[in-house]
Amino acid sequence: MTIYLPPKILILESRMIVAADVSLQLSKLGYEVIGIHIKAEGALKTIQLNRPDIILMNIDTRSSTGRLNTARGITETLSIPIVFLSAHTDRVFLQQLIHLNPYALITKPFDVKDLQRGLKMTLGRMVAEGLWPVSL
């Protein structure tokens, strides 16, 4: 019998209080949080040292260009699934996200069920693409 470890998730969130809450929720859902970062530079270092299975990335108006570029780089070079968190759902913003082919978009404010649903969708797609060994 094969036993699979829980998915490793890296959180890139501009507000530490939100990141800490998300981390706690993820832990309660059985995921392993391998890092919480406010800036992309720190997240990229963690990715090099301990590759996550999923990246949970906040996009807001202050950081959208830099975060979108970071997401593009991660997607193109490392092929790590990204789930976006954002309070912004306007048409122009969503068109920018579509080009990055995100695994999910969880809109803020969200609750634990929204988070769980987005991650289950992500894992389902990862299974279909051969990036994850078992459906949860």
CATH (domain of 120): 3.40.50.2300
Burial class (CB within 10 angstroms; exposed 0-12, middle 13-18, buried 19+) of 62? exposed
Tell me if 87 is assigned to some domain.
Answer: yes
Can you give the pTM of this predicted structure?
A: 0.91
Tell me if 64 is assigned to some domain.
Answer: yes
Tell me if 133 is assigned to some domain.
Answer: no
Q: Which residues pair with 11 in a beta bridge?
A: 36, 56
Q: Do 81 and 125 meet the contact criterion of CB atoms below 8 Å apart?
A: yes
Tell me if 98 is assigned to some domain.
Answer: yes
The C-alpha atoms of residue 72 and residue 102 are separated, in whole angstroms, by 10
pLDDT tens by residue, 87-126: 888 888 888 888 889 999 999 999 999 999 999 999 999 9
pLDDT band of residue 1 (cuts 50, 70, 90) is: very low
Burial class (CB within 10 angstroms; exposed 0-12, middle 13-18, buried 19+) of 48? exposed
Tell me if 17 is assigned to some domain.
Answer: yes
Total domains in the chain come to 1
Tell me if 63 is assigned to some domain.
Answer: yes
pLDDT tens by residue, 45-94: 999 999 999 999 998 766 667 888 899 999 899 999 999 999 888 888 88
- Report DSSP state, residue 129: T
Q: What is the rounded (10 degree) CA torsion for 47, 16, 120, 136? A: 70
Domain extent at residue 33: 8-128
Take residue 27 and report the two structure tokens written for it. Answer: 């832990």
Tell the residue number behind the tokens 């809450």, with chain if given: 21
